[in-house]
Amino acid sequence: MTIISTLVVMAALSSSVAFAASQATFFMQNWLTISLNDDPVVLPKITITDNAGGEITAKNGIGILIDKETKALWDKTVKKITIDGVLRDVTYSSDLKRVSVSVQADMVVAQQLVIEGLTMRVYDQGISYRNFFVDINNDGVGDFEGTNGFSIDSANRRTDRTAPFEVESLASAYEDGKVVISWVNPLDYDLDRILITRDLTRADGTKDQSVVALDRLSNRYEDGAAKAGESIKYTVITKDYNDNSSAGVVFDLIVSELLNPAQVNVTLEIVEPIEVVVPAVVVDADAKSSLRDGISDADISAVVTPGSGLLLTSDYVKDVVYLVKNGWLKADYRGNFRLVRHLKYGEFADIVGQAFGVEVPGMSRNSYYFAMKKMEDLLPVGVNAGERIKREDAFRIILKLAGLKEGEQTIVSDVSSLSWYATRKELAHWIVEAKSE
């Protein structure tokens, strides 16, 4: 009964969509209901029929489209699918909204093409009803609408376990005395940030490793510390809002001492994805007093949108940029760099958990929150991740994680004045101050 009622809704929703007359049809074996945050979803068997003959040709093939407004993409990691029982290659458009299926010969009247194995990733955030569209003229526009589609069931939410796609088109250059790495970011709607691990082998054989966190719009990294004789392996990793990490794309670079210092001898190797363990950012004890001072104009420009109206030289801006630079805080909220946005217990715990190295009990949503809740006296009994956190609670948690006592700290002069709710800029300021003491 559920499926029948859903199809009635679909008919009502799609009745206003007009297509040119076509004698071909698209039928998916059954309606697909997807839980929010589900893993990549394999579609049921699809049958495409040419009822008139000659509608579907070998020259144009078949394109199956996801509409532009739907937050879903074809899974480009699936290179082959089954067509009429034979495993065949498929190709995807650059925006991952179209998958192209080849046709071996012009189809005749009533001939059917059976497709199995198509896979998509869905990022929609609520219940919605969507159909697929079919392009048989190879013009990028749907010629007719499919029968049966998919809906997103937000009531049955799952933990997001799927990492974003990898970056692509990794390249290098040498500019103004710096090694410059560039790439093209994936299209995942939940892409949150880019991490770059830098594994250095010096000429004398000693090794070092560091990690840099960049925002989701970054597609360039400048390394001004590379020296002749060094071998550097960069691993570019994508992370989503639920902290799922891609395996990473590896880039090996050897810096040679050449007569022309504006040149480097670069060896590029893109290897099969491997599991990469991203090290926690460790702050040198000797450098704790200069956390805010270490934020450059370039760091601020990479985070704060020009014309935002913020005083870029203020300590609060530098504090927040420090958290963003380390990957502990997301740069944007609904497209704006909002310092005074109120924090919820879950978001607060995710941020301070990373900043102070709280152990994570897995990859669950708000995992730091659940880890902190298990620690004695760290989170109040009865609160939940969706509630706005009180300034007093946030402040006392930070003091405890930093190993500071109320009577010894200099972050806030009057602890009794802490009331109302904590904001982003207060959290950033307290973390920077606590880690500097």
What was the pLDDT predicted at 160? 75
Q: How many Å apart are CA 8 and CA 29, to the nearest integer?
A: 16
What angle in degrees, to the nearest 10, is found between the helix axes of 391-402 and 345-356? Answer: 20
Both 225 and 89 in one domain: the answer is: no
Name the residue among 324, 3, 307 with its Cα closest to residue 195.
Answer: 324
Beta carbons within 10 angstroms of residue 104's beta carbon: 12
Mean pLDDT score across all residues of the chain: 77
Both 243 and 130 in one domain: the answer is: no
Tell me if 241 is assigned to some domain: yes
Both 175 and 142 in one domain: the answer is: no
What was the pLDDT predicted at 127? 58
Residue 105 structure tokens: 């010969």
Tell me how many domains the chain contains. 3
Tens of pLDDT, residue by residue over 239-250, are 988 788 898 998
Task: Find out whether 19 and 144 touch, Cβ atoms under 8 Å.
Answer: yes
Tell me if 267 is assigned to some domain: no
Both 330 and 392 in one domain: the answer is: yes
Both 386 and 424 in one domain: the answer is: yes
Both 176 and 124 in one domain: the answer is: no
Tell me if 431 is assigned to some domain: yes
What was the pLDDT predicted at 309? 58
Domain that holds residue 78: 2-153
Both 184 and 130 in one domain: the answer is: no
pLDDT bracket for residue 299 (50, 70, 90): confident
Tell me if 278 is assigned to some domain: no
**Cα distances (Å, whole numbers) of residue 29 to 32, 83, 98, 142, 403:** 9, 15, 20, 20, 60
Both 37 and 148 in one domain: the answer is: yes
Concatenating the DSSP letter of every residue in 54-100 gives SSS-TTT-EEEE--TTSSEEE-TT--EEEETTEEEE-EE-TTSSEEE
pLDDT bracket for residue 12 (50, 70, 90): very low
**Mean pLDDT, residues 298-326:** 73
Beta carbons within 10 angstroms of residue 27's beta carbon: 13
Q: Which residues fall within 8 angstroms of residue 3, CB to CB, at 6 or more apart?
A: 30, 31
pLDDT at residue 9 tops 50: no
What was the pLDDT predicted at 365? 62
What was the pLDDT predicted at 277? 38
Residue 127, CA atoms < 13 Å, CB-side half-sphere: 7
Of 203, 235, 254, the one marking the end of a domain is: 254
pLDDT at residue 376 tops 50: yes
Four-residue CA torsion sign, 72, 76, 78, 82: positive
Tens of pLDDT, residue by residue over 13-67, are 333 344 445 578 889 988 888 876 677 888 999 999 998 888 899 999 999 999 8
Looking up residue 20, the CATH number of its domain turns out to be: 2.60.40
**Mean pLDDT, residues 232-237:** 91
What was the pLDDT predicted at 60? 92
pLDDT at residue 114 tops 90: yes
Tens of pLDDT, residue by residue over 135-154, are 998 888 888 888 888 887 76
What was the pLDDT predicted at 421? 73
What is the pTM (predicted TM-score) of this model? 0.55
Task: Find out whether 189 and 152 touch, Cβ atoms under 8 Å.
Answer: no
Concatenating the DSSP letter of every residue in 300-313 gives HHHHSPTTS---TT
Comparison of pLDDT for 279 and 48, the residue scoring more: 48
Q: Which of 159-173, 178-192, 285-299, 384-398 has the lowest mean pLDDT?
A: 285-299
What was the pLDDT predicted at 99? 96
Both 62 and 186 in one domain: the answer is: no
Both 412 and 342 in one domain: the answer is: yes
Tell me if 341 is assigned to some domain: yes
Comparison of pLDDT for 88 and 280, the residue scoring more: 88
Tell me if 279 is assigned to some domain: no
Tell me if 265 is assigned to some domain: no
Tens of pLDDT, residue by residue over 319-375, are 888 888 877 777 654 334 556 567 788 888 888 888 888 776 665 667 778 778 777
Looking up residue 245, the CATH number of its domain turns out to be: 2.60.40.10
Both 295 and 370 in one domain: the answer is: yes
Tell me if 30 is assigned to some domain: yes
Both 224 and 134 in one domain: the answer is: no
What was the pLDDT predicted at 378? 80
